[in-house]
Amino acid sequence: MEMFKGYDPGGFYDEMFGADGAVRSHCAPLLRKFGQLDEKDFLARKANSELYFLRQGITFNVYHDDRGTERIFPFDPVPRVIPAGEWEHLEAGLTQRIVALNLFLHDVYHDQQILKDEVIPRFYVEQAKHYRPEFRGVDVPADIYIHICGSDLIRGADGDYYVLEDNGRCPSGASYLLENRNALKRAFPGLFQEMGVRPVDSYPRDLLNMLHHISPGRDDHPVCVLLTPGCHNSAYFEHCYLAREMGIDIVEGGDLVVVENFVHMRTTRGLKRVDVIYRRIDDDFIDPVVFRKDSVLGVPGLMNAYRAGNVALANAVGTGVADDKVIYHFVPRMIEYYLGQKPILKNVPTYLASEEADLKFILGHLPELVVKAANESGGYGMLMGPSASKAEIDKFRELITADPRNYIAQPVISLSRAPTWCDGAMEGRHIDLRPYIIYGNDVKIVPGGLTRVALTKDSLVVNSSQGGGSKDTWVLRH
Amino acid sequence: MLSRVANTLYWMVRYVERADNLARLIDVNQQLLLDSERLDSERLRGFWQPIILSTGDEESFSTLYDEAGSAEVIRYLTDDPRNPNSITSCIALARENARTVRDQLSDELWEELNALYLFTRSDEASRLIHSDPPRYYGNVRRSAVTFLGIAASTTSRDEDWDFMELGRHLERADKTTRFLDVASYLPASADAAQPAVLHWSAILRSCGALGAFRAFERTITARGVVDFLVFSKTFPRSVRYCVERTDVCLHRISGTPRGTFCNDAERETGRLLADLNFGVTDEAFAHGLHDYLDALQGRFNRIGDAVFESFVLMPERIQVCPAAEFRSSSALAAWQMQQQQQQQ
């Protein structure tokens, strides 16, 4: 217990300790295990886990560094524990959400009934940056749009889970979730004994099954590939990792050619037909004939093959419309509209700058709010009101007034905290959770997800590009 | 397999092999230097100049350095990032290639190469280069050999392996000729200061061949060494052996029987192999050793180019590529776009 002595939940919702300082019952066995480690042993094991990441090359590139320095994604060895009941609730909520999002995307790219019924104002959809009107009326394989969703969940002061955003384009991080588990198991095998932690290793299998499911169908052995932007991309490690775990080829744009509306890859024995592409390239870059003409990463003619139904893409083209933070606001309405159900998971209250009353409120309360650009991710294009300087606030005031459609605001949610080893002591740090939802033949969610930690004291930004780290996430069997 | 992957595996192994050979070359010559009496700077230049000349990088060297003394040459060949063929550059390139085909490599294989890369970039390495060079070069060589050993024991014997073997043997053949070529650049005056036999035995040691050679011939002579390192049928670093292995790999890839050909790489290799199988040492000396070795290197290059043409470029198969005019060839643009791809 030594390491947790003097640990202070600090008035936040803490994942391990209640407000009274007593350990939460589902964390008690884990805390006892940590109690058996002395600090020296703990540090040696922690260093071991870091060495594992370094040796495996599980690093991300630090841009603008000409020595090409690579850093490991900081890993905290104290796991985050989710009890079985809580997870059931999350699973049901996330499943409900991905089903509704897919119904919405089908609708938006076909009859647009939800717009005709004025449940969502047409203007918002048509003005969404990633809406692809050129794909209206195109049927996609298996009628699935978001095959892999990486929704970000946070927990407020009340301990309730909220969905912060749905990442339905190219969510990344699943490899870290898998490698965190590997690293922790290697460095702290003792922690796992008799804890009833649900395994996570089914993820690559689930992913591959989904890719097979959406194959436009030629035979039982579809050729699936993972399309990467290339080895300079920050998520390149993940692309390789997943391709290898699934046993599929990882390809770059230049490896693929389209001949008579069929996609092929260039092999040492000539061209080989491809049925399914798990693409990690944005719509904008995927086909220079249709989208950005200067893209050197994409495959010319790919969209024609896709439209002709000769190849499946995961995720589909145009899913970004559902990622728009303005559209996010309407997800609970989608759930009610398409499924006739109450949303199981809550949204964070959101103010839309293009609604007059909301705009007035936003501009009047900037120092208390979080403002976000509708189409940015990775912690960019964001104003954290309470910690922002006057100059930053003024800058956002201008940005919002100039382009209200592109901004939303939310109250600051003081994310829950979890004990994290910080330079010699266990301290509370804010965390979020990104589960990975796979939608194929059915919906599969790997137990847990990636827990990201804001390592800087008091920071609420967990993105790796902004000094975030991660933890292993345990979902308990009972 | 993907053409790009084949090409990448080929280069990954070539770069590791190159680093290994360089480490041998420098290590052996540094030790040789210890045997000599005190050398003035002129003599020192005479000692290192042939080594730079034999690597074929003398132009790049002379633009970067004024002197060809021990410190300069060692720096240039070992850890000068401006020399794309220095040991550290080769290791970095090998790792970069490995990174792009990480999914094809066993974990152990990647870890070994990554560890070597981390070593060459470490402070420890910079310290060892000066304070304990044999240890530095020993580390590089041990790691390179471990890498090849892991590759041999964890790679399925299919095309992956064949392309890796191609890279290894072509690089090895090239390096063996370059080690031999050091002899052709030795200044005549060096003979007085250094008995030739020392140089020839250094060449053998650079190829790790001293022991094997002794088992085959007692006295070290120029003819004997050339005969062994070019024409030996059994020594794994001899030119003939490497070309033979190249020929075997190419035919395994294509499925054509040996002795016939279905692409330029096979034709070039088969022809060279016949020359070596039926050649004699006299030919090597007839028009001067340097010219003979130079011609061999030219033929290795043609084989390398033909491999690239036949399996990667495939010009006859890829003319169907619509909208090719949109493709900018700028590597910088590609690099920027790769980074821009938002991964949510």
- Domain end, chosen from A254, A279, A310, is at A310
For residue A256, is pLDDT > 90? yes
Parse chain B into domains and list their residue ranges: 1-154, 156-313
In a domain, A372, yes or no: yes
Residue B2: closest C-alpha in chain A: A267
Short-list B195, B275, B264, CA closest to B230? B275
Distance separating alpha carbons of residues A25 and A6, to the nearest angstrom: 19
Give the gap in angstroms from C-alpha B16 to the nearest C-alpha of chain A. 18
**Which residues on chain A are in Cβ contact (under 8 Å) with B321?**
257, 300
In a domain, A366, yes or no: yes
Say what the pLDDT of residue B319 is: 47
Half-sphere exposure of B244 (CA within 13 A, CB side): 15
**Beta-strand (E) ranges in A241-391?**
249-251, 256-259, 262-267, 270-273, 276-279, 312-314, 346-347, 351-352, 369-373, 382-384
In a domain, A71, yes or no: no
Across the range A247-274, mean pLDDT stands at 93
* Residue A234 shares a structural domain with residue A292: yes
Distance separating alpha carbons of residues A274 and A263, to the nearest angstrom: 5
In a domain, A201, yes or no: no
* Residue A375 shares a structural domain with residue A294: no
Of A229, A254, A267, the CB nearest to B341: A229
On whether any CB of chain B is under 8 Å from the CB of A236, the answer is yes
In a domain, A404, yes or no: yes
For residue B195, is pLDDT > 50? yes
**Which residues on chain B are in Cβ contact (under 8 Å) with A57?**
99, 102, 110, 114
Distance separating alpha carbons of residues B17 and B170, to the nearest angstrom: 10
* Residue A251 shares a structural domain with residue A303: yes
On whether any CB of chain A is under 8 Å from the CB of B234, the answer is no
CA distances from A41 to A27, A179, B94 (A): 21, 22, 36
Taking a C-beta distance cutoff of 8 angstroms, is the pair A271, A257 a contact? Answer: yes
For residue A440, is pLDDT > 70? yes
CA distances from B246 to A57, B7, B174 (A): 32, 15, 12
State the helix-helix crossing angle for B159-185 and B196-206, rounded to 10 degrees. Answer: 170
Taking a C-beta distance cutoff of 8 angstroms, is the pair B241, B233 a contact? Answer: yes
* Residue A234 shares a structural domain with residue A301: yes
Of A172, A297, A323, the CB nearest to B337: A297
Confidence label for B187 from pLDDT (cuts 50, 70 and 90): low
Give the gap in angstroms from C-alpha B124 to the nearest C-alpha of chain A. 17
Distance separating alpha carbons of residues B289 and A41, to the nearest angstrom: 63
Say what the ipTM of the complex is. Answer: 0.75
Short-list A298, A417, A454, A477, CA closest to A13? A417
**Which residues on chain A are in Cβ contact (under 8 Å) with B106?**
none
Residue B7: closest C-alpha in chain A: A268
Confidence label for B50 from pLDDT (cuts 50, 70 and 90): confident
For residue A452, is pLDDT > 50? yes
On whether any CB of chain B is under 8 Å from the CB of A300, the answer is yes
On whether any CB of chain B is under 8 Å from the CB of A51, the answer is no
Of A233, A238, A301, the CB nearest to B341: A233
Phi (first) and psi of residue B206, to 5 degrees? -60, -35
* Residue A292 shares a structural domain with residue A353: no
Residues 167-226 in B contacting A (C-alpha not used; CB under 8 Å): none
Taking a C-beta distance cutoff of 8 angstroms, is the pair A49, A446 a contact? Answer: no
- Domain end, chosen from A411, A435, A451, is at A411
**Which residues on chain A are in Cβ contact (under 8 Å) with B102?**
57, 237, 240-241, 244
Taking a C-beta distance cutoff of 8 angstroms, is the pair A177, A450 a contact? Answer: yes
For residue A350, is pLDDT > 60? yes
- pTM of full prediction above 0.90: no
On whether any CB of chain A is under 8 Å from the CB of B96, the answer is yes
Tell me the per-residue pLDDT of A299-323, one tens digit each, with 9 for 90 and over: 999 999 999 999 999 999 999 999 9
* Residue A362 shares a structural domain with residue A304: no
A419, β-bridge pairs:
A428
Report chain A's C-alpha Rg in angstroms. 23
Q: In this structure, what CATH number is given to the domain that contains residue A245?
A: 3.40.50.11290
Is the CB of B341 less than 8 angstroms away from the CB of A281?
yes
Give the gap in angstroms from C-alpha A357 to the nearest C-alpha of chain B. 31
Phi (first) and psi of residue A352, to 5 degrees? -100, 125
- Say which residue, B286 or A379, is predicted with more confidence: B286
Residue B1: closest C-alpha in chain A: A267
* Residue A366 shares a structural domain with residue A298: no
Short-list A436, A442, A475, CA closest to A172? A436
Tell me the per-residue pLDDT of B259-295, one tens digit each, with 9 for 90 and over: 999 999 999 999 999 999 999 999 999 989 999 999 9
Q: In this structure, what CATH number is given to the domain that contains residue A406?
A: 3.30.1490.270
Residues 6+ apart with CB under 8 A from A22: none
Short-list A146, A200, A176, CA closest to A74? A176
Which tokens go with A81?
């524990």
Is the CB of A229 less than 8 angstroms away from the CB of B337?
yes
Say what the pLDDT of residue A180 is: 95
Q: Decide: residue A339, CB within 10 A, 0-12 exposed, 13-18 middle, 19+ buried.
A: middle
On whether any CB of chain A is under 8 Å from the CB of B4, the answer is yes
* Residue A246 shares a structural domain with residue A294: yes
Highest mean pLDDT among A141-145, B46-50, B103-107, B193-197: A141-145
Taking a C-beta distance cutoff of 8 angstroms, is the pair B213, B184 a contact? Answer: no
DSSP-assigned states of every residue in A158-213: TS-EEEEE---S----HHHHHHHHHHHHHH-HHHHTTS-BPP-TTHHHHHHHHHHH
**Which residues on chain A are in Cβ contact (under 8 Å) with B342?**
169-170, 282, 377-378
What domain range includes position A404? 349-411
Give the gap in angstroms from C-alpha A31 to the nearest C-alpha of chain B. 33
Give the gap in angstroms from C-alpha A441 to the nearest C-alpha of chain B. 24
Short-list A175, A152, A304, A147, CA closest to A250? A175
Distance of CA A459 to the CA centre of its chain: 19
The residue assigned the tokens 């994409």 is: A298
Helix (H) or strand (E) holding A432: strand A425-434
Residues 6+ apart with CB under 8 A from B324: A300
Residues 137-166 in A contacting B (C-alpha not used; CB under 8 Å): 150
On whether any CB of chain B is under 8 Å from the CB of A62, the answer is no
Distance separating alpha carbons of residues A109 and A318, to the nearest angstrom: 9
Residues 314-343 in B contacting A (C-alpha not used; CB under 8 Å): 314, 317-318, 320-324, 326-330, 333-335, 337-343
- Domain end, chosen from A361, A390, A411, is at A411
What mean pLDDT value characterizes chain A?
A: 92
Give the dihedral sign, CA B221/B227/B229/B235: negative
Count of domains forming chain A: 2
Is the CB of B323 less than 8 angstroms away from the CB of A296?
no
Distance separating alpha carbons of residues B166 and B326, to the nearest angstrom: 34
* Residue A238 shares a structural domain with residue A303: yes
In a domain, A319, yes or no: no
In a domain, A306, yes or no: yes
In a domain, A395, yes or no: yes
Is the CB of B96 less than 8 angstroms away from the CB of A167?
no
Short-list A276, A281, A271, CA closest to A313? A276
